[in-house]
Amino acid sequence: MSILILTDIPEWVRPLVDLLESRGIKVQVADDPEEIVANGLIVNRVSSLLAERDKAQADRITHSLRTWEAEGRSVINGSLCFQTGYSKLDQAKLFTECGVLTPLTYPAVPGGRAIHGQAVLLKPPAGGFGRGIRMLEDGEPAPDGLFSRDEGWIEQELLTAADGCVHRIEVLGSDILYEARSPIQADQFNYCLAHPESYVTLRAPGEIAPKVTESVKKILRAARMELGAVEYLLDEKDNPVFIDLNPVSSFHPGATAILGHDPLDATASYLIHRSEGLKKKGQR
């Protein structure tokens, strides 16, 4: 049975495709849902960057994912996960529904403020690499003309991390692979971990606090996310405060040393296992 990968950036999935093909797996890579007609496991690797570039296309992909799900096809990171991934407001709602801590978040007001009495972060609804995020001081309005009300921009409470770090939990299926901890830098919101910066600290699953792993697994179940990452800050009581869900994240180059195996290899094995499970059940 084939593995069908939907992506807006084919070069991002090429190492995974090469690994799957080296194991004898037939792989189709497509950037248009209409190209996916064969039976097989559908793996959604479309990034939130697409929603920033072409919201209409992102909405069409969401519709296709829902259609496949309604048809009984097996989709990894399906419609709910995808739509949540490109909406910061939906992420905040999901975190709240899971009963985990998350910053106060409201739809942003063009030329005004939704949250008063404190500094906030102004964030676009989707994107990546921290682009578009800016801090607004108390009383400073959101720039007029930067966005419209229906675009999904948010104002989010600006928190101070007790340990001065952003924490990212990488996941695979229902399992936690590792945690990466990056020091917060002034006026810097890009915490992509695809590069081996020396200041990033990695932790194996057994070193992560149980209250963090329990919260992350709640989020995974609620978002129906099997691949990706969840980010949080620590408050003054060492409680995780969740700030982001990223269904298309990047592995840190040092992860292999922490895990004892390549996380990309583990991802390939997971997808093959899921695909073989469909074949045994006679599913599409």
Structure confidence by residue, pLDDT tens digits, 185-243: 766 665 555 445 568 899 999 999 999 999 999 999 999 999 999 999 999 999 999 99
| Whole-number pLDDT of residue 130 | 63
Q: Please name the residue that has the structure tokens 């939990």.
A: 169
Question: In angstroms, rounded to a whole number, what is the distance separating the alpha carbons of residues 75 and 85?
Answer: 15
- Specify whether the CB–CB gap between 27 and 15 falls below 8 A: no
- Specify whether the CB–CB gap between 58 and 86 falls below 8 A: yes
- Specify whether the CB–CB gap between 8 and 49 falls below 8 A: yes
**19 CB neighbour count, 10 Å cutoff:** 19
Q: Which residues of the chain have pLDDT under 50?
A: 194-195
What are the respective helix, strand and coil percentages of the chain, to the nearest 5? 35, 25, 40
| Whole-number pLDDT of residue 52 | 79
- Specify whether the CB–CB gap between 264 and 19 falls below 8 A: yes
Q: What residues contact 242, with CB distance under 8 A and at least 6 apart?
A: 95, 100, 101, 102, 215, 219, 230, 231, 232
Q: Could you tell me the pTM of the whole model?
A: 0.91
145 sits in the region (left: phi over 0; alpha: psi -120 to 50; else beta) called left
State how far the alpha carbon of 173 is from the alpha carbons of 22, 35, 176, in Å: 22, 26, 8
| Whole-number pLDDT of residue 185 | 76
